[in-house]
Amino acid sequence: MELIETAIAGALIIEPRVFGDERGFFLESWNADTFAAAGLDMQFVQDNHSRSARGVLRGLHYQLPGEQGKLVRVTRGAVFDVAVDIRRSSPTFGKWAGVELSAANKRMFWLPAGLAHGFLCLEDGTDFLYKCTAVYQPQHEHCIRWDDPAIGIEWPLGDIVPQLSSKDAEGQAFGEAMTFP
């Protein structure tokens, strides 16, 4: 497995070892020993799976308290996945990192606790999977606007008009959002 650093401290793109032939492929999406040997010693307590149509934009979500680290990947379709550092003590506070995750590239994205997270679906029927280090607590969920100019995320919209939930459409401005110490 190869770890690729991003513009955010601790957020990593993970390229798993893929073994393939004319029959298909095999990869380990999670192995506690392998990840720990690479310096990523985490314990997951919840797995989630969502399916979305092209143009669906989810986020930017986070929990406080009850912050979650997330290991995310796509098993069908493609997304542009984004993390925003909302840890005031971090040298990368307020910065964002984005990566295309797809069934074709098999990449994963590790987002440590203290980041807001969102993604834009680039293909219909995209299956997005994520492992979480803390359970979902809806009463502690927060949302920052996906298009806040203070963050300046460069979403690859092209001809896409984002489809947002009402919660995401009403996200807070970055400057008004609750952040981590």
Query: Looking at the whole model, is its pTM more than 0.85?
Result: yes
Please name the residue ranges forming H helices in the chain.
Answer: 32-37, 166-169
Could you give the residue numbers annotated as active site?
A: 61, 130
Q: What does DSSP assign to residue 153? A: -
Residue ranges of domains in the chain, CATH in brackets? 2-17+41-176 (2.60.120.10)
Mean pLDDT, all residues of the chain = 96
- Model confidence pLDDT, tens digit, residues 12-22: 999 999 999 99
Could you identify the residue written with the tokens 């919660």? 167
Q: Give me the pLDDT at residue 116, please.
A: 98
pLDDT mean over 78-106: 98
Measure the CA–CA gap between 160 and 146, rounded to whole angstroms: 14
**Secondary structure element (H or E) that encloses residue 49, with its range:** strand 46-52
The share of the chain scoring above pLDDT 90, in percent, equals: 100
Give me the sheet containing 46-52, strands edge to edge.
2-5, 12-15, 108-111, 70-76, 126-132, 46-52
Residue positions counted in the chain? 181
